[in-house]
Amino acid sequence: MQLESYYQEIAGRGVALFAVSVDPPDVSKRLQQHLKSSFTFLADSDAQLLDALGIRHRGGRGDGADIAFPTAILVDGAGIVRWTYQSDTYRQRARPEDIFAALDTLPAAARVP
């Protein structure tokens, strides 16, 4: 995960990071441990969050299972979406410099405590 190397800088800006997976909770937890990730992993095995956000990629995994489109969403402390990025291919993710540029526009008062 490319953002993992920037985790401390992102967290230092008052931002919490989450990864959402359609895998069951035990699989998501193992993946988080395997990656030694600082992100909080959320299991969305019934894809309700993916559907609510409109980011479900039906049949997107190699075995035909549903996955999420690569998506980054910057939500402020009041729950307002300030910035989004979405790709239609799993190979393309939001670039850290684009995320930092979006963070630079976020008022300090709007950051997650």
- Segment 20-58, tens digit of pLDDT: 888 888 988 888 888 788 778 888 989 999 999 888 999
- pLDDT value for 96: 82
47 within domain boundaries: yes
112 within domain boundaries: no
95: containing domain: 2-106
Answer whether residue 1 shows pLDDT above 60: no
Total tally of structural domains belonging to the chain:
1
Q: How many residues does the chain have?
A: 113
27 within domain boundaries: yes
- pLDDT value for 86: 85
63 within domain boundaries: yes
Bridge partner list, 18: 40
111 within domain boundaries: no
Q: How confident is the model at residue 82 (pLDDT cuts 50, 70, 90)?
A: confident
Report the predicted TM-score, pTM, of the whole model to 2 decimal places.
0.71
> b vs e for 77-103, b when ≥16 Cβ sit within 10 Å of the residue's Cβ?
beeeeebebeeeeeeebbeeeebeebb
CA distances from 35 to 5, 26, 38, 105 (A): 12, 14, 9, 30
* Mean pLDDT for the chain overall: 82
Bridge partner list, 21: 43
Q: What is the CATH number of the domain that holds 19?
A: 3.40.30.10
